[in-house]
Structure 1
Amino acid sequence: MMVGLTGGVGAGKSTVAALLESHGAVIIDADAIAREVVRAGTEGFDQVVAEFGPGIVGPDGELDRPKLAALVFGDDAALQRLNGIVHPLVGQRSAEVMSKVSADDIVVYDVPLLVEKNMQEGFQAVVVVEADLQVRLGRLRERGMDSDQAQARMAAQATDEQRRAAATDVIENSGSREELATQASRVWERLVEVRANRR
């Protein structure tokens, strides 16, 4: 059973993914795969450097992700060029990971741009994680992202309303970790029920 997990930057998708994994979900993290396919030495790395220049390579020999993000967020054409390189590679790697899961697994595909890429049709359920704007901005500040960068990143993503329209389940993550865990448990129970009804 395929479940899409999405939410705006800073909403807490990764935390929800970890909670669902603790219940038995198999997690496929699109962001982690996107980082993997552009590591130094990969075809993706070579393509990104060819497209954006050697200035985006950091002192460690890997892509300087903040510098690359500053280049593409707020520049639609540059973002499309980057996505044109990364997304097909993510698709290939995701398919490899998927080939190893069993038919009985609930696979949660953590994908930030699920709604933006109109991918919801490919899932039996879509879980959307939301949080208040100020909570999200606070989390992003803790990650070292300034307010302008954070707002540019948010502006490039779908709105809460657009994500909600695609959702089968919404998890609100502005409160405590305990409240979040309770909501994640409820969603997991519902997913297990949906899987049982599909057999």
Structure 2
Amino acid sequence: MADYVVGLTGGVASGKSEVTRRFEALGVTVADADIAARQAVAIGSEGLARVVATFGNDVLDASGALDRAAMRRRIYADPAARKRLETIIHPRVRRALRAQCRAAPGPYAVAAIPLLAEASRERDRAGVLYAYPWLQRIAVVDVPVDVQVARLLARDGIDMALAQGMLEAQATRAQRLAIADDVIDNSGTLDALDAQVAALDARYRALAGAALR
């Protein structure tokens, strides 16, 4: 059981998946909030039933699954709709992530949480996250905003307006960096990224070991 958990976050199209793949290659369990969110609204799930009850049947595609593209357009155009969706999905995601991290072998686990900076605005007087009090450390994958935009346009085939809307719906780069214990610069080469992740892996193993003593 891994009692030491690192929260990994970054803005959209910052390259979090490249980072998590490198942690996994080093034998680290990564609990991915995006995967947990998809499972939370899988066909037949109670979560999907809640989404349909809240937004109507037009959020489903022909197979009965959540139409993610249509839902994404809707929530980025309507902040209130985004909040309603988050109240359904986020508690389920948090429970799934904590269970997966606690069950992980090895000295530490990584919880990849895209919206961690947004959740970090809710802290108690001791600075502990209300939503994720079980995180011991936070690592932020960082790239300049113009790099995010270029990657979004190339990756998703969307227009500039939607790309800008997606960025504006998230915490700013400065807000993410403000919560970071560690910063991973993902604007360089893959070799540079390898070196950063290897160094952090060594650091986290040492910190996890020290926490047990």
Instruction: Please classify the TM superposition score into its range, dividing by the shorter chain length.
Output: over 0.9
Equivalent positions of 1:15-94 (< 5 A) are: 15-94=18-97
Q: Distance in 1 between matches of 2:16 and 2:88?
A: 24
Task: Provide the C-alpha distance between the structure 2 equivalents of 1:67 and 1:52, rounded to a whole number of angstroms.
Answer: 12
- For residues 1-199 of structure 1, the aligned pairs below 5 Å read 1-102=4-105, 104-118=106-120, 119=129, 122-141=134-153, 142-199=155-212
Distance 2:14 2:133 in 1: 22
> Which ranges of structure 2 fall in alignment gaps of 5 or more residues?
121-128
Offset at residue 91 of structure 1 (A):
2.4
Amino acid at match of 1:108: V
Counterpart-to-counterpart distance in 1, 2:206 and 2:159: 42
Structure 1 residues 92 and 195, CA gap change in structure 2 (3 angstroms): closer
Asked if 2 retains the 8 angstrom alpha-carbon contact of 1:74 and 1:156, the reply is no
Local SS of the residue matching 1:178: helix
SS across alignment from 2:117: coil
TM-score by length of 2: 0.87
Partners of 1:122 and 1:162 in 2: CA distance: 21
Question: 1:121: how far off?
Answer: 5.1
Ranges of 4+ aligned residues in structure 1 off by more than 4 Å: none
TM-score normalised to structure 1 length: 0.92
How far apart in 2 are the matches of 1:75 and 1:152? 11
Distance in 1, matches of 2:137 and 2:9, equals: 11
Q: Say whether the 8 Å CA contact 2:107–2:208 is kept in structure 1.
A: no
SS of corresponding position for 1:27:
strand
Structure 1, unmatched stretches of 5+, are none
Taking the aligned partners of 2:209 and 2:12, their CA distance within structure 1 comes to 32
Alpha carbons 1:127, 1:169 under 8 Å: kept: yes
1:57–1:63 Cα contact (<8 Å) kept: yes
1:140, 1:146 within 8 Å by CA — same for their partners in 2? no
Give the distance between the partners of 1:145 and 1:187, measured in 2 at CA.
34
Post-superposition Cα deviations, 1:143-196, rounded to whole Å, max 9, x if no partner, equal: 223222221111111111111111111011112111111111111111122122
Q: The residue matched to 1:115 in structure 2 has which SS?
A: helix
* Counterparts of 1:154 and 1:87, CA distance in 2: 19
- The AA in structure 1 aligned to 2:149 is L
CA root-mean-square deviation: 1.6
